[in-house]
Structure 1
Amino acid sequence: MTHRGDTVEALVLDACVLISLTLRHVFFHAAVHGLCRLHWSDRILDEATHNLIRMGHLDRAGATFLIAAVTESFPGARVTVPEAVVAMMRNDAGDRHVAAAAVVAEAPTIVTVNLRDFPPPALPPWAIEATHPDRVLLRLWGRYPAEMAIVMQDMAGDAPEGYDPWEATLYALRRVTPRFARTLGAFRSAVPGP
């Protein structure tokens, strides 16, 4: 595990990122390797697990297990967001709690696919920005290429049996992070090995 302390970027993962198994895993692996610090609130976790249940990806027991697992794996990730801070936010009402989590966590980046819910004019007073996961992952790759290659090798090792591990990972990433997937595909083509 790499230890970079406070020099790594703090990220608040929106529920839409936590819903995606592949995105969740790539950010979790990157954090375990010390390439970023992750944050979320109970409300973000609840929103993610509620949607995973609604979509049929988890049952209630699975949701409870997921929350317990991420809480245990990332004990410093959870932030408590006072309603007074939520009330000060000016982005989309349904996602003000996410912006407030970034303010409380002192995280400059909210990782989300729902950029329209975080219009730039609503965020500058707080020195935070909403950024698509594709852009964040490319930024991590640019800063830490060797370490991100290890992260992705770990991810490929998680692929189901019977699948080409890299292809399974790239396939899942192409839907939400196409530029990052292309970068990984080019890297994979240039590097010999399984």
Structure 2
Amino acid sequence: MRAKPQSPLPRNPVPAWSPPTTTTDPMLEKDAAGGDFPANLVLQLMPLKTFPAAIRGVIQSELNYSVILQWVVTMDPEPVLSWTFSGVPCGMGEKLFIRRLSCEQLGTYMCIATNSKKQLVSEPVTISLPKPIMQPTEAEPMEPDPTLSLSGGSAIGLLAAGILGAGALIAGMCFIIIQSLRTDRQRIGICS
């Protein structure tokens, strides 16, 4: 009996995008330290607006560049937005500006919206350095060419320029000598 050919794609593919979800799963209601989230916390993973753009929850940025994180959430009454960096509070408000990104600021950021009725949590975004495209290689010293030579038209042009330059120099010196002799004769003629 022949085996059935297997499809390269899974039977139940995971969608590339899914809408924000709300959960009350007790397994997900643990914070980074392992403690329980407050009872009024709703884990609604809403995406953040970021600059530069986040791809699959990761922002790749060079050091000393700026990064902007923004979370727009609508709640009634108006929420207070607080930002966390690796579980530690790091800012307040709708936007978090990171000016001149440093190594200490690389990590995961989240925003928590809190009002008197409930709390919402944004999707986490991780800021990291870009991955190098290729590995650096050792620099190899270049050997200088032991002979410098000219040939063809460039050699003839250089030779002609040298001869013309020498001729102009000699002509200039002769002109100065002749002029100085003339002025000397004129001075002698005036004095006598």
| Same fold, TM-score > 0.5, yes or no | no
Whose helix fraction is larger, Structure 1's or Structure 2's? Answer: 1
Whose strand fraction is larger, Structure 1's or Structure 2's? Answer: 2
Instruction: Give the TM-score, by structure 2 length.
Output: 0.18
Structure with max Cα Rg: 2
